[in-house]
Amino acid sequence: MSLNNLKKETTLYIRLNDKDNVATIVNPRGVKEGAAFFNGSRIQEFIPEGHKVALTDLDKDEAIVRYGEIIGYAAVSIKKGSWVKETLVRLPSPPKLDDLPIATRKLEEQPPLEGYTFEGYRNNNESAGIKNILGITTSVQCVVGVLDYAVAKIKQELLPKYSNVHDVVALNHNYGCGVAINAPESEIPIRTLQNMSTHPNFGGEVMVVGLGCEKLLPDRLIQADDKQLNILSLQDQKGFTKMIDAIMKMADQRLQKLNQRERVTCPVSDLVVGLQCGGSDAFSGVTANPAVGYAADLLVRAGATVMFSEVTEVRDAVHLLTPRAVNKEVGQALIDEMKWYDTYLQKGMADRSANPSPGNKKGGLVNVVEKSLGSIAKSGSSLITDVVAPGEKATKKGLIFAATPASDFVCGTLQLASGMHLQVFTTGRGTPYGLAMAPVIKVSTRNALKNQWDDLIDVNAGRIATGDATIEEVGWELFHFILDVASGRKQTWAEHWGIQNDLSLFNPAPIT
């Protein structure tokens, strides 16, 4: 990566690869027509921050290259120094899935990182949590109003008595009835709810509130020996006040047990970290995502499980990932998830051009190919040890691809089901997104976003673009911050403000 920053009035730009024929403008206010540029040339028109400038004259249909990869083709001739806008870039075909190289990259093995730990809560099944939370899951959306009323009452009247318990969280969702419960795709929302109910931050003390006539039977959601002791059906109660009293009584019993938990020293191998990006921009693949990727490599070397996701933002860069599969089986599983999602989009008469969002484009991303190449930088350079389907529990250590849609809320919900303790979330445009069950560490791609949202951004990777920090330095900063948050020594801004988005199940099955 090269950054020219000789003079204040000079055009500042980043070229990521020697093969690139476009560069990204770094000047916070953009650059004006006539500004000095590459090899003594001049900028042809105003170009905003984060958007691309042509380094050479590009003929119509000529490949446009960023990250050393083709991100599209010139729809018209583009002069050197011109703004390479979204409308001037023709989307290329996606990589074909049947002839990808699998498990061909032999990476130099990095020495393990030893001596790193976090302070967590040891569970009876030998898993560890980083929070001490009472989780109350629902079997159907019908009970949400009553449960929300009860949870507010629990937080006000019961929780203050149990100082070792951090929170009470209702696992509300819109599933459970009016659905094709036995349709093949119904396994996705059902296993998502099942696995969230056993999240390690709940300490094994989960309870289920159901209605009594729903299709998703409450006893399918828990694994306790005596399930009925953990299930409360509202249709069995005599009126609203009795419903609330029964929920309060069940909650109090579990809060007493959770309050006895204390933090103990745990190896980093007990930690499961999810990676995600949202509100991405052209700097995501330059600053925040590579820094997260570096931190991911450190976590893997320390023995942790690290999950990256978002199928639609991996699909166009999958040819760079299959060589990193640890074996043929893992590589084929990655391809199978891409194929499943291709079919899913086709059924909905949608295609990959639906991504990126208007905000992504405003931030300089021209299409999903460019977005994908930046997105996979979060995965670092480690071998991919496993692939899990949507909502499946992660069971292996190392770098894992957890298949999810790109939607922030759906991805977060599915990563929680896969066992994620905390999430690292990169953003260029900014989003106040948060999760109740797990801390979300927000990493900005630009200094301007950190300056604008100083009380929402936890780590600023924008310093990389201005040459004030390296990818490695921000990666190490993030690695230590992750361990501090996991240990309860530091809070994310989202935790500080109590920001939390609703859970959002991925349900490709029919609704009846």
DSSP 470: -
Fold of the domain built from segment(s) 133-258: Rossmann fold (3.40.50)
Domains 1-90 and 133-258 equal at CATH topology level: no
Environment class of residue 226 by beta-carbon count within 10 Å: exposed (0-12), middle (13-18) or buried (19+)? exposed
For residue 400, count other CB atoms closer than 10 A to its CB: 25
DSSP 75: S
1-90 under CATH 3.10.129.10, yes or no: no
Quickly tell me which residue has 């990727």 as its tokens. Answer: 293
Q: Which of 21, 472, 511 is nearest to 290 (CA)?
A: 472
What is the residue extent of each domain of the chain? 1-90, 133-258, 268-497
Q: Return phi, psi of residue 115, to 5°.
A: 95, 0
CA pair distance 155, 140, nearest whole angstrom:
22
Q: Residue 426 pairs with which residues in a beta bridge?
A: 277, 443
Is residue 267 within a helix (H) or strand (E), and if so which, with residue range? Answer: strand 264-267
Q: Mind listing the pLDDT tens digit of every residue in the chain (512 residues)? A: 444 443 445 899 999 999 999 999 999 999 999 999 887 889 999 999 999 999 999 999 999 999 999 999 999 999 999 999 999 999 999 999 999 999 998 877 789 999 999 999 999 999 999 999 999 999 999 999 999 999 999 999 999 999 999 999 999 999 999 999 999 899 999 999 999 999 999 999 989 999 999 999 999 998 766 667 899 999 999 999 999 999 999 999 999 999 999 999 999 999 999 999 999 999 999 999 999 999 999 999 999 999 999 999 999 999 999 999 999 999 999 999 999 999 999 988 888 888 899 999 999 999 999 999 999 999 999 999 999 999 999 999 999 999 999 999 999 999 999 999 999 999 999 999 999 999 999 999 999 999 999 999 999 999 999 999 999 999 999 999 999 999 999 999 999 999 999 999 999 988 88
Could you give the C-alpha distances from 465 to 51, 311, 361, 424, 474, in angstroms and in order? 14, 27, 19, 20, 12
pTM of the model: 0.95
Q: If you compute the radius of gyration of the chain from its CA atoms, what whole number of angstroms results?
A: 24
Return the C-alpha torsion angle 477, 481, 482, 486, nearest 10.
160
